[in-house]
Amino acid sequence: MDFGLNGKKALVCASSKGLGRGCAEALAGEGVDLILNARGAEALEETAKHINQTYGVDVKAVVADITSEEGRAKVLEAAGDVDILVTNAGGPPPGLWIDWDRDDFIAALDANMLTPIALMKALVPGMMERGWGRVVNITSQSVKSPIPALGLSNSARAGLTGYVAGTARQVAEKGVTINNLLPGIHATDRAISLDGGVAAKEGITIEEAKKKREATIPVRRYGTAEEFGAACAFLCSQQAAFMIGQNILHDGGGVNATL
Ligand code: NAP
């Protein structure tokens, strides 16, 4: 299927690795020019080079912390007008509900709620003026089904979800869609780090922690960044123009719910 995105330009945040990179590669495969971003220069440069050589699209790489005001300013200046925005950043650390203090919540809100909101505020008005735009926020299955150890993520992402629900319906008439893509467990560095935490806590190996987690997923495996990227590219497609303010699970059936 041709998604009708050839020649569009996308900013994909936090995209040197993992799910962000999966989204960037899938969009590049559709002929979309890219602005990529991460804090670490080495992996970012490698990813940018790989995507440029593999897909022949223009790729700009901006080293910056997307959760800081100055990092965002740097990325936005390099990006200019974009047609597609994929928001993403690292997830908050795991812990226990009673241990987090105000600073922990502020950091999580900054990274996983206020950063995507700031990016939308900066870029959606231009999309509305031009009459076309796509925003995909990478959130988490924790929005639909809380993950006990990830209370900071549960909280911050729920806030973003509320903002998107109201905002998406105010910009839709100008040809701009905003949707959230909710990953369940995917085989990325983040998953290895979460499995490492379980392994340390339960006195088992990382491989055993992974097997235990896989057994809880109906598909019995972790998702891949490529699969996730394909779902993101679809949400950005011309064909998805009637999907507004949705929260799409990409979780191998992990969330046990009827709706
Ligand atoms: P990952 O494999 O650890 O990759 C994270 C990417 O984001 C890297 O390129 C990293 O590069 C970049 N990054 C992190 N913090 C950044 C920042 N402040 N500014 C700019 N770039 C930043 O993580 P992932 O698995 O793709 O996860 C992506 C998001 O999905 C996270 O919020 C995670 O919580 C959420 N999620 C993931 C899963 C999963 O199973 N993987 C499930 C549910 C939710 P640098 O470190 O060099 O900056």
Angle between the N-to-C axes of helices 115-130 and 151-171, in degrees from 0 to 180, rounded to the nearest 10: 20
Domain match, 79 and 198 both: no
Give tens-digit pLDDT for 187-242: 999 899 889 989 999 999 999 999 999 999 999 999 999 999 999 999 999 999 99
Q: Report d(CA 250, CA 141) in Å as an integer.
A: 8
Q: Pick from 196, 191, 194: which is nearest to 18 by CA?
A: 191
Pocket test for ligand 1, best of 88, 136, 160, 180 (most atoms within 8 A of CB): 88
Q: Is residue 255 part of a domain?
A: no
CB atoms near residue 184 (< 10 Å):
24
One domain, residues 200 and 242: no
Q: Is 86 in the pocket of ligand 1 (CB under 6 A)?
A: no
- Ligand 1 centroid distance, CA of 198 (Å): 19
Domain residue limits at 31: 9-184+224-249
Cβ atoms within 10 Å of 46's Cβ, excluding its own: 13
Please give the model's pTM, rounded to 2 decimal places.
0.97
The finding on whether 150 has its CB within 6 A of some atom of ligand 1 is no
At 114-140, the pLDDT tens digits run: 999 999 999 999 999 999 999 999 999
Question: Tens of pLDDT along 156-187?
Answer: 999 999 999 999 999 999 999 999 999 999 99
Total residues found in the chain within this entry = 259
Q: Measured in angstroms, how far is the CA atom of residue 29 from the centroid of ligand 1? A: 21
Number of structural domains (the chain) is 2
For residues 133 and 27, state if they share a domain.
yes
pLDDT of residue 190: 85
Q: Is the domain of 240 the same as that of 201?
A: no
Whole-angstrom Cα distance, residue 156 to residue 13?
18
- CATH number of the structural domain spanning residue 103: 3.40.50.720
Asked if residue 256 is part of any domain, the answer here is no
Residue 159 sits at φ, ψ, to 5 deg, of -65, -45
Ligand 1 lined by 20 (C-beta under 6 Å)? yes
* 48-86 pLDDT per residue, tens: 999 999 999 999 999 999 999 999 999 999 999 999 999
